[in-house]
A and B are shown apart, each in its own frame.
Chain A
Amino acid sequence: MIWVEQIFQGILLGGYYALIACGLSFMFSVMGLVNLAHGSFAMLAAFGFWALAEYAGLPPTIGWTAVFPAMALLGVALQRLVLDRSARSGFLIPVLATFGLSICIDNLLFQQFGADTRSLAPFIGDLSYDSWELADGVFVGKLAVYIFLAAVGLLGGLQLFLSRTQLGRAIRATAIDRDTVGLLGIDANWINICATAIAMVTVSIAGAALGMRATFDPYAGTPQLIFAFEAAVIGGTGSLWGTLLGGLTLGIAQSVGAQISPQGFLIAGHATFLVVLVARTSLDRIADVWRIFSFVRTKAS
């Protein structure tokens, strides 16, 4: 029974990982780059929510009306000033530029807010501890369920947006061939700005989710980036439904690992990520060998 409960908790935790991985996976599929400042932006949004609640008395339920547009604007600036410019100087530079940016953001947050851990839990009333009793003695936190549903909704919504809307199709076309869409009258720069702004709004949602369900501090961005990256890669980078599956896999692995030993939480997550990675690359290799083998056989016959 304890295992069933752990797996169940893992699935709910995985919902959060899918949420934080959503923006990373989306930007990777559209622009083919991993934004290393992703976790730092999530912390920036979380501190934005916190500051609004603490100093202006605006709880996250109202605060989002300020944080989401602000983060979207920041996304516009990020795309215009950093990503677009660095992507033109080769594939190494965006990685280095966003890493430098993450160091700046983390330390500026530390400078502004200090080392104290914060939480949004005090500003959301009963929601932070309310729960449903599923069976005898098995409780499930309402907030965790809402976060899970938000992840499914967001990933599903993005998937629908990409496949059904004009802008979504333009984003997909730009991802495939930036130069050709220009010939069709689509402004690739504008499309990438939209995509980054959307990704930054999803990052804000993830930041709010982290702030409500746990605590955060200025340097918490790094682990969030790593979790997001693991979820995205386990699920197959670029695929949004895959990201949901990846988040769930990571969450379940961590929950089960935590049950085995106190340090097992993180170790099991990282190990699962590496096992999936090795398995996938070996499968690719087997597929390659198989292709060559069948090619030779056809030639021989």
Chain B
Amino acid sequence: MTDSGLVVARWTPTSVTFTVAGVGLLLALSFLPTVASPATLDRMTTLFIYVILAATWNALAGYGGLVSIGQQAFFGLGAYVTIRLSNAGVNVYTAVVVAPLIVALFSLPLSLPMLRLKTSEFAVGMWVVAELIHLLVNLDPLIQGETGISLIALNAYTVDQRNALTFWIALAAVAAVLAILFVLLRSATGAGLQAIRDNEEAANSVGVRVVTVKRIVFVFAAAGAAIAGSLWLATAISFQPKTYFSAQWTSYMIFMVLVGGLGTFEGAIIGAVIFYAIEAAFGSMGVWYMIGLGAVALLFSLFLPSGLYGIFGARTGVQLLPVGYWLRDTKSEPAVGQGKAAEA
């Protein structure tokens, strides 16, 4: 402790409560298939997929400063590799889990040229990559171009089994993605990542290994989008390249993260829940729904770039999960909130 009475703290009573509650919620959810209806499980799986998409895109853009409009490349590849593995005789649920790992391996060499691009060049460059991968997947005779193919191997399971298994894998994936992100953000890599976002040259000059740190988050985001894709295939069953390689997925990710709070761990999760509710309420409106999504994304980026959680955090000084550092005044409680993570 220094003379000023200020200490740097990581855990606050609020964040302890919310971390314990969050872990407890995930554990409790794992028993859901014993009580809930298949339709409920299916809806929960969709929500989990949105949380994965939002959390990993937020890691890439919000923490890493790498806005990609091409994450549908990995979403589609996750589904495509699942189809290919299943076709090769791998158990269908093993394929759902293994496919994202293969896609993550693939994203590693891809990161070499892409990460040399700056901001908007990276954004559209990734979009081109997604278009190219889409066209190449269409060439595969198994997929039959835009006609697509179904994950027929799922027929070996009953509907109830399918819903429960997909739900568990989705739950495990959400838990894994959030846990990895949590640990990553609290590590030196996480601090380096945010330093790069704020000023790449300065981060480089103080010894942050810029390319390595960016590569870690790039591969992580690719794996996240890929497991979202393979899970989506497990719930939707049919694979049509056009649907999976659509930039719409990225617009969903942008919407969730912008509304929830760009660059905040909790914001992305909140954004996913909000998006899920909006889709349930207005998704049937078709074109006007898309116009609304675009308009909300535009308005948030102009007027509320820190999102709902960012506003909440700035107003109340409360941080629900301990991914940053807090400056705490031991002489005059309560704690002084510090919205953003301090440089570690």
Contacts and interface: CB of A to CB of B under 8 A. Distances in A.
Interface of A: 28, 33-34, 36, 81-82, 85-86, 89-97, 99-104, 107-108, 110-111, 222, 225-226, 229-230, 233, 237, 263, 266-267, 270-271, 273-274, 277-278, 281, 284
Given A99-B254, A267-B135, A104 B295 contact: yes
B32 interface: no
B120 A96 contact: no
A234 to B, nearest CB: 11
Given A103-B251, A266-B135, 13 more contacts: A85-B302, A86-B302, A86-B305, A92-B262, A95-B123, A96-B301, A99-B254, A100-B297, A104-B298, A107-B290, A222-B247, A225-B124, A263-B135
B129 interface: yes
Nearest to A227: B128
14 contacts: A34-B123, A86-B305, A92-B65, A92-B119, A94-B120, A95-B67, A95-B123, A97-B297, A100-B295, A100-B297, A102-B294, A107-B290, A111-B287, A277-B125
Interface hub of B116, B129, B294 (most chain A Cβ within 10 A): B294
Contact of A270 (B116, B128, B302): B128
A270 to B, nearest CB: 4
Interface hub of B113, B290, B291, B298 (most chain A Cβ within 10 A): B298
B138 interface: yes
Given A92-B67, A103-B251, A263-B139, A97 B301 contact: yes
B25 interface: no
B145 to A, nearest CB: 9
B117 interface: yes
B41 interface: no
Contacts of B125: 233, 277
B81 interface: no
B128 A226 contact: yes
Interface string B120-148: 11011101110110011011000000000
B288 interface: yes
Interface of B: 61, 65, 67, 69, 113, 116-117, 119-121, 123-125, 127-129, 131-132, 135-136, 138-139, 247, 251, 254, 258, 262, 287-288, 290-291, 293-299, 301-302, 305
A134 to B, nearest CB: 32
- Chain A interface secondary structure, helix, strand, loop or mixed? helix
A270 B290 contact: no
B294 A104 contact: yes
Contacts of B298: 82, 97, 100-101, 104
A283 to B, nearest CB: 11
B140 to A, nearest CB: 11
A103 B297 contact: yes
A32 B116 CA distance: 17
Contacts of A277: 113, 117, 125
A227 B321 CA distance: 43
Given A92-B67, A100-B294, A266-B131, A110 B119 contact: no
A36 B123 CA distance: 9
Contacts of A281: 113, 116-117
Contact of A267 (B61, B65, B136, B296): B136
Contacts of A89: 301, 305
A85 to B, nearest CB: 5
Contacts of B296: 100
Nearest to B294: A103
**3 interchain residue pairs of minimum CB distance:** A103-B294, A100-B297, A100-B298
Given A86-B301, A103-B251, A110-B287, A237 B121 contact: yes
